[in-house]
Amino acid sequence: MDKIGVTAWITASQAGALALLDKKRRLEEKETVDQLVASGVRRSDARTEVARMRPEHWPALEVVVGEAVRRRLADEDLAGPWAPLTQAELDRLALSGRWPGASGGVTLVQRNYSFPADLVLQLRTASWRVSEKPLARLYELGLVGSG
């Protein structure tokens, strides 16, 4: 499955919660290895067993975040149906840089994730279509980008 790197802006509290989840996951993995070793399993075999358990018991943060994004995209306001992105729109979306958007007055933190290509396309399509009219107006007023 092809993956695409994306930059997400999340609240500082969300970033903290994800960091705590990651720390908890690492601790649980270590404790599980230690328990297996205490029960007589060789450390290398215990680590291999924990690695096999990881996707189900301790998924990577990008998997957790990706699942949350899929759930959010299923909500009525983002579910579509949306017109497919044109090649010109896809080309514009491929440009680097931060797109305009409201922060709601809260501190945002940048995080990078690799998501499956189908999820990235779904996310970009919904985002583009929801923002299409306001962005067109901002470009018209010369308030963002070079147009």
**pLDDT for the residue numbered 147:** 46
Average pLDDT (123-147) is 83
Query: Quick check: 94 pLDDT over 60?
Result: yes
Average pLDDT (25-46) is 98
Average pLDDT (53-64) is 95
Buried b (16+ CB within 10 A) or exposed e, 90-119: eeeeeeeeeeeeeeeeeebeebebebbeeb
**pLDDT for the residue numbered 98:** 63
Amino acid at 135: L
**Tokens for 54?**
């990881």
| Residue with the two structure tokens 């010369």 | 142
Query: Quick check: 97 pLDDT over 50?
Result: yes
**Tokens for 17?**
């919660």
Rounded to whole angstroms, how far apart are CA atoms 84 and 137? 21
The model carries a pTM of 0.81
